[in-house]
Structure 1
C-alpha cells in the first residue's frame, strides 16, 4: 500500500492554528493531522505561514503573518532576533517562557520516562533575565569585503554581524566590537571555512562577574597574528579590567571552537570568579556555568536535595573543574570527584587547594570505570551527584552508581529528554524520584536545566 503524500508542498502559503510549542520553541500546527513547525509562532495563535521544507511526517514553515495574536506574545527587543540563531524565545513573554519550559519537562517525563506521577515544580526564573552570559564565543568571517563577527543564522554557518547581544555581559560585547574594529583597521584577515585560509576564527570573551576580571581569547588558524602587539595594546587600553589575552591555535577543519594549544600573549593564563564563597580559576578550556546568578540558584537546589549534615561522603561524577563538589565541601566529610578530561582534573585540584579544601580528591578517568574501583577500595558514598552532558548518563555509569548503594543520587541535567530516559532506567534499578526542580539558566533560549533527587525505593 503506498504511503499517503504530505498535504503540503514547499512554497505553499497556509493558515494554521498553533496548538503548542516544540522543545526548541517552535509553534506546532496541523494540516489534516500533519504537523507543521513554525518558528516564532505562539501557542493559541492563528497564523499565516509559508512552507519551507517537507518531510514524510512533518513540515517546516516560515511565519508570515499573525492573524490572531496570543496574549503571551511579546515584542522582541533585539534588532537582529529574527535573523540570529542565538535566541529562540524573545517573542514570548518571560512568564510564558517559564511555563513552556516546565511543560517541556512534564512532557519528557510522561512520554519518554513513562513517569506521569513525578511532580515538576514551577521553573525558577530570573528577576532580570538579560545580560546574564559571562562567556561569548563569536565566529569571525567575511561579508562583501568586510570583516564581520556575530552569531550564526539558524541552521547555517552564515554569520549575522552583531554589535550588541542583549543576553551577553556588556564587556563581552565590547571586546568583540574592539577586536572587529582592529581587524578591519589593521587588516587582520578572518577565517574562511571553505578555503581553510585566513587567521581569526573566533573571539572568546570571559568575564568574572563577581571579580570583574576579563579574559580575551583569540582563536587563530595558525601561530601568526598580523599586528599582534598593536591588537593587544588596544585591548589593554580599552579594558582596565583586562587580566588575560590568550591565543588559542586551532588549525583543524572542524566545527569545534577551541584547539588544544594556548599561548599567553599578555597577563595571566586564568581569570577568577566565585560561586558563593568558593573561588575558581577559569582558563579558556574550563567548563564554568555561563549564568553566574542562576548557578548559585542551581547549586542551592543540589544542596537541598543532597540533604547534607556534614558527615557524608560524596561522589561527584562528571565533576569538571570541581564546581559542584567544592561548592558543597563545607557540608560534607569527604568529596570524590571523577572527570575524563585531565586538564579539568588539574583545575579541580588547584581550585581545592586555592580554597583550602583538603578533603576533596579528584581523579582522571571515565566515571563508570573509576567508581567500581573506588567501591572495591571500600569507598561507599552517601550521596552521588551526576551532571552529565546533553546525551545524559551512560547505563554503565548508572549501574556503577547503583552498585555503590548511595541513599540518594542527585541528578543535574541540561536535557529533560535524557533526564527522563535515565529516570526510567534508575526506577527499574530501585531508585525513584518524586519531584523535579527546573531552573532557567538560559532565558530567551529553549534550554532548561533541572535538578532532581533519586532515592532507594
Structure 2
C-alpha cells in the first residue's frame, strides 16, 4: 500500500506501512505462535485469514480541528494542530465518500472546531460507520447542548447532503480531556440503530456499540467460531462480552439455547433487535445486561462458552469460574496476545487445541486471534 500522508511524514499511525503485506501477515502469525508456544505447546495453527491491505475500515473516528468554516478531519500532530486525512486509503470506498459532504456540512454550519492547546471550541470529533448496504451512522461529538440544537435544526441539510445517513446523533463531551466521547448521546434521526446485513445475520449497531473494524475479516472470524461450535453441537452456549451479538447470533440454532452477556444496556438492546432482524428472535436466544466477569445467567450451565474480552482479557475472576464451570469447550477471541497468554496460563484445566490469526488491522502490529480450548 502506498500512502502520501505517510511518505510526507504527516501521519505515522500505520507503523507497518512500506512492509509488503504478505510479510506483515506472516510476521504476525509467527509472533502469535511464539507468544503461545510455552502455554500451549501442542496448539495446532490454522492458516491466517487476511483480507484487503487497504480500503478495509468500516468506521472512521475523525478528530476535528482547524477553524470555523475551514475545519480539518483527521488527527492531531504533536503540537495539537489538525492534520486533514480525508484521502486516507484505509477506509472502505463507501465510507471515504462521506468525508467531503460531511466536511462541507460542518464548514457551512460554522461550528468552531475544538482547539486542544487553547482548550476552546465546540466540535471535537466526527465518527462515521459504514454498513454493507451503503448506509451510515454519523456521530458529532460536541461540548454543549447549544451545539446539539444547532445540529438538530440543520439535520435536513445534512440528510440532503448525505442521504445515506440513516442514523445521526450528537454526543456531548463538555470536559477538557483526551477521550473520544461523553456520557450523553442524543439521537437526532427517527432511526437509532444501523442495520449491518452480513451474509448470515443482521447486526444492529447503536451509536456507542462495539463493532469489529474490518467487516470482511469479522465475517470470517464468526464463521470460524461457528465451524468449531457446530463440530461440537453444544445444547447451551454462553457468549460473554457479547456486544451487539456477533458471535451469539452466528451460533444460534433451533434447539440450542444461546445467552449473551454484555455490560452495556445499549448493546444488549441492539443485540436483541439483531436477533429479531436475523430471524433468531426466540426464547432460545436471549441477551442480558451484566458484567461478563461475574454475571451468570439463570438456567442450565453452558456446554460451551465464547469470550471476546477487551484488551485486558478475561482476568482471574472469570478464569477461576471457567475452571469449575460446566463448559467442556471454550472459544476465545482475543485482540491482545499478552492478555491471551496470561489468561490461558490461568486455565490449567483447559487445553488449547486449535487457533487461527485474523488480520483485522493491516498496516499495524495489531492482530485478532481465535483459539479453541477443550476441557482436559
Q: TM-score, normalised by structure 1?
A: 0.75
Deviation (angstroms), 1:118: 2.8
- SS of the aligned residue for 1:91 comes to coil
**CA contact under 8 A between 1:175 and 1:216: conserved in structure 2?**
no
RMSD of equivalent CA atoms: 2.5
**CA contact under 8 A between 2:167 and 2:191: conserved in structure 1?**
yes
- Which residue is 1:442 aligned to? 361
- Which residue is 1:105 aligned to? 32
- Which residue is 1:408 aligned to? 329
- Which residue is 1:294 aligned to? 217
Answer yes or no: is 1:360 the counterpart of 2:285.
Answer: yes
Q: How does 1:27-176 map to 2 (within 5 A)?
A: 76-81=1-6, 82-110=9-37, 113-126=38-51, 128-142=52-66, 146-153=70-77, 157-176=80-99
- SS of the aligned residue for 1:164 comes to coil
Answer yes or no: is 1:282 the counterpart of 2:205.
Answer: yes
Answer yes or no: is 1:326 the counterpart of 2:249.
Answer: yes
Deviation (angstroms), 1:248: 1.4
- SS of the aligned residue for 2:4 comes to coil
Answer yes or no: is 1:243 the counterpart of 2:166.
Answer: yes
Answer yes or no: is 1:201 the counterpart of 2:124.
Answer: yes
Q: In 2, distance between residues paired with 1:290 and 1:239?
A: 22
- Which residue is 1:344 aligned to? 267
Partner residue of 2:140 out of 218, 233, 241:
218
Moved more, 440-449 or 256-265: 256-265
Distance 1:121 1:152, change over 3 A: farther
Unaligned 5+ segments in structure 1 are 1-75
Q: In 2, distance between residues paired with 1:182 and 1:239?
A: 9
Deviation (angstroms), 1:450: 0.8
Deviation (angstroms), 1:387: 0.3
The ranges of structure 1 where at least 4 consecutive aligned residues each deviate by more than 6 angstroms after the TM superposition are none
- Which residue is 2:339 aligned to? 418
Q: In 1, distance between residues paired with 2:128 and 2:326?
A: 42
Answer yes or no: is 1:432 the counterpart of 2:354.
Answer: no
Residue deviations 1:88-115 (CA, integer Å, cap 9, x gap): 22211111011111122123114xx544
Q: In 2, distance between residues paired with 1:123 and 1:170?
A: 25
Residue deviations 1:176-208 (CA, integer Å, cap 9, x gap): 333333433443200122443211100011111
Deviation (angstroms), 1:319: 0.9
Moved more, 260-269 or 241-250: 260-269
Deviation (angstroms), 1:122: 3.3
Residue deviations 1:70-89 (CA, integer Å, cap 9, x gap): xxxxxx51110243143222
Distance 1:266 1:407, change over 3 A: closer
- SS of the aligned residue for 2:248 comes to helix
Which protein shows a greater Rg? 1
Answer yes or no: is 1:454 the counterpart of 2:376.
Answer: no
Structure ranking higher on relative contact order (CA contacts 8 Å, 6+ apart): 2
- Which residue is 1:7 aligned to? none
Q: In 2, distance between residues paired with 1:186 and 1:320?
A: 34
Distance 1:203 1:378, change over 3 A: closer
Q: How does 1:371-386 map to 2 (within 5 A)?
A: 371=296, 374=297, 379-386=300-307
